Amino acid sequence: MRIERATLIEIPLRLKEFFEISSGGMQDRRVILLKIEGDGLEGWSECVAAETPGYAYETTETAWHVLNDFLLPGVVGQDFSEPSEALAPVSWVRGHGMAKAAVEMACWDMAARADGVSLSKKLGGTRSVVPVGVSVGIKHDDGELHEQVAGFIDDGYARVKIKIKPGRDVEVLAGLRDAFPDTAFMADANSAYTLDDIPRLKEFDALDLTMIEQPLRYDDIHHHARLQEAIDTPVCLDESIKTDADAELALALSACRIINIKPGRVGGFSESRRIHDRMDAAGFPVWCGGMLESGVGRAHNVALASLPNFRLPGDISASSRYWERDIVSPEFVVSDGEMAVPTGPGIGVEIDLDRITALTTRTTTHG
């Protein structure tokens, strides 16, 4: 398959509500979409880089730069037989996994369309529906938080993830546990703690959480191993796992019992599958995280989550959780804690090209 042309598009999308995590917040997304064309086919993807370097070092701006100045010039005009090989011409580029993932994932979509199969099938997915949860940003008012959580439980989400930070942690989860005794809760700290906080983090053990996600530094593995030894609640790593080698190290040190795989964070689907397989072989589950994606990125996540070892609900909520109106149709919906995996060729949803054209704030073409 040949990548004849690549088009990068930026569109603004406003989240329905401000989304706060321990390292900052976001309301106005600048979504980067990538379309590749070749052999009469298209492939689409979304780059998950955020506007600020508060989750990862990559930002909308660095991804735009690295895609335009290095990755797309390197792959346009090149052939690939398998999407896992599409990044070979730019393997010299270090880091920038989110920018790389956009290229690789668009190639997976194009390759699935070439085979006339769904992206899920192309990736080796085995589920027709995937269990899904919802991620709830930090709220400073308990009443407001409880009301929102009650709404998500009514919507049928299979688990509820609560963002925490020092000052909004154990008491918040304890209050939710009291109010909603049967709900599967987990907490995501986005690196807000250190080993000095072990006594505090140990208090979570009484609250029957399914896991605590990324409590310690964004690039740490060693201290997470010391923490996992000290607490019963399973540790899940997010930010710390950027490659399969990171997952290998985390397993060798027993730093976690669960990994949140975001294909954008780890450089694409090939690396995601390696982490998935490694965790499976070690007897540990993975789940698919999210980065406040539009329907394009959401479609990629649902397809990945259909692989067999994605045994825990992902952060894959309905389109309507974040957007007044999505840029794909049909929109993604949740019922009974599950989301259907699209069955059409490639990502399996239709992209609203007119709306994207109307919204586009900048675009570049290669080839």
Q: Which of 121, 163, 165, 242 does the annotation list as catalytic? A: 163
293: which strand partners?
Answer: none
Other Cβ atoms closer than 10 A to 243: 16
Among 13, 164, 256, 291, binds ligand OSB (CB under 6 A): 291
Instruction: Write down the number of H helices and E strands in the chain.
Output: 13, 15
- Is residue 315 a contact point for ligand OSB (CB under 6 A)? yes
Residue type at position 300:
H
Q: Give how far Cα 6 sits from Cα of 43, 85, 129, 366, Å.
A: 9, 17, 32, 5
Calpha distance 295→275 (Å, rounded) = 24
97 binds, among Mg ion, ligand OSB, none (CB under 5 to 8 A by kind): none
First to last CA, the chain: 15
- Is residue 190 a contact point for ligand OSB (CB under 6 A)? yes
- Is residue 125 a contact point for ligand OSB (CB under 6 A)? no
Window 7 to 26, contacts with ligand OSB (CB under 6 A): 21
- Is residue 317 a contact point for ligand OSB (CB under 6 A)? yes
163 an active-site residue?
yes
- Is residue 133 a contact point for ligand OSB (CB under 6 A)? no
Calculated CA dihedral for residues 29, 330, 163, 174, nearest 10 degrees: 160
Among 20, 58, 238, 244, binds ligand OSB (CB under 6 A): 238
Among 89, 97, 131, 289, binds ligand OSB (CB under 6 A): 289
- Is residue 188 a contact point for ligand OSB (CB under 6 A)? yes
131: which strand partners?
Answer: 338
The minimum distance between CB 31 and ligand OSB, in angstroms, equals 12
- Is residue 238 a contact point for Mg ion (CB under 5 A)? yes
35 an active-site residue?
no
DSSP state of 61: H
Q: By CB under 6 A, which span of 30-38, 222-230, 289-297, 304-312 interacts with ligand OSB?
A: 289-297
Q: Which is nearer to ligand OSB, 71 or 241 (CB)?
A: 241
44: which strand partners?
Answer: 35
Mark 74-109 as b/e (b = at least 16 C-beta within 10 Å). bbbebebeebbebbebbeeeeebbbbbbbbbbbbbb
Binding footprint of ligand OSB on the chain (CB under 6 A): 21, 55, 135, 188, 190, 238, 289-292, 315, 317
